[in-house]
Amino acid sequence: MTDIENLAAGVEAFTSNVFLVHGDRTVLVDAGANFDVVSELEARTDGLDAVVLTHTHRDHVGNVDAVREAFGVETWGYDPTQPAVDNELRDAVRLGDDEFTVLHTPGHKDDHVCLYAPATTVCFAGDLVFANGAFGRTDLEEGDRDALVRSIDLLLETVGPDLAALHPGHGPSVTDGAYATIERARQAARL
């Protein structure tokens, strides 16, 4: 069974959430920034198979080089022209014990993706949507509110009302009412 843990929980620095996904394939979803993620990883695992990035804003990739060096791993992201991305994410990626569908979800940033496992109904949402129906900023470079709304629509069409867990790029994960959280984000983003 896949186990997911947020290594940035309790960190008081400008960083994203950093999810360590244990299982057949031990993967880090986003690397965070401005804290010693390598020590956190070394305390929890003997090895890492890959780093998968939801997008390449600094708070999500600031620790990439340290993780690459410490664990000898490559990174996967939507846009392989970005310095933090070694390999292009395609249609699916294995995280832990589960296969996750890769959804291109621009609006916050052009290279943004969400990752969804249909078998376990778990979603890594990056900075598309957050707990309490919040949504990602569109006032940064590459931000586009209309594209963000379309991306939230795509996510809702993909995940379904039985969504068990939503792991956003910032703030707490949502395990109760995850689908309704995305619906609230869509409604708020359309205002």
pLDDT in tens, 85-120: 999 999 999 999 999 999 999 999 999 999 999 999
Which pLDDT value is given to residue 2? 74
Q: What is the overall mean pLDDT for the chain?
A: 97
Q: What is the pLDDT of residue 1?
A: 56
Average pLDDT for residues 145-153, to the nearest whole number?
Answer: 98
Q: What is the distance in angstroms between the CA of the first residue and the CA of the last residue of the chain?
A: 40
Please, where are the H alpha helices in 15-91?
37-42, 58-61, 64-71
105 vs 184: CA distance, rounded Å: 17
Give the mean model confidence (pLDDT) for residues 124-146.
Answer: 97
CB 9 within 8 A of CB 37: no
- Find tokens 């990439």 and name the residue: 64
pTM reported for the whole predicted model: 0.97
Provide mean pLDDT across the span 157-173.
Answer: 97
Predicted confidence band of residue 131 (pLDDT cuts 50, 70, 90): very high
Beta bridge partners of 114: 103
Give percent of the chain with pLDDT exceeding 90: 98
Q: Which two tokens stand for residue 158?
A: 């993909």
Q: How far apart are CA 8 and CA 152, in angstroms?
A: 25
Find the mean pLDDT for residues 41-67: 97
Q: Average of pLDDT values for 75-81? A: 98
Q: What is the mean pLDDT of residues 153-173?
A: 98
**Is pLDDT at 82 greater than 60 in this prediction?**
yes
In the chain, the percentage of residues whose pLDDT exceeds 70 is: 99
pLDDT tens, residue by residue, 6-16:
999 999 999 99
Three-state SS at 19: strand
Nearest to 120, CA basis, from 147, 150, 156, 94: 94
Contact between 100 and 25 (Cβ < 8 Å): no
Domains of the chain: 3-189 (3.60.15.10)
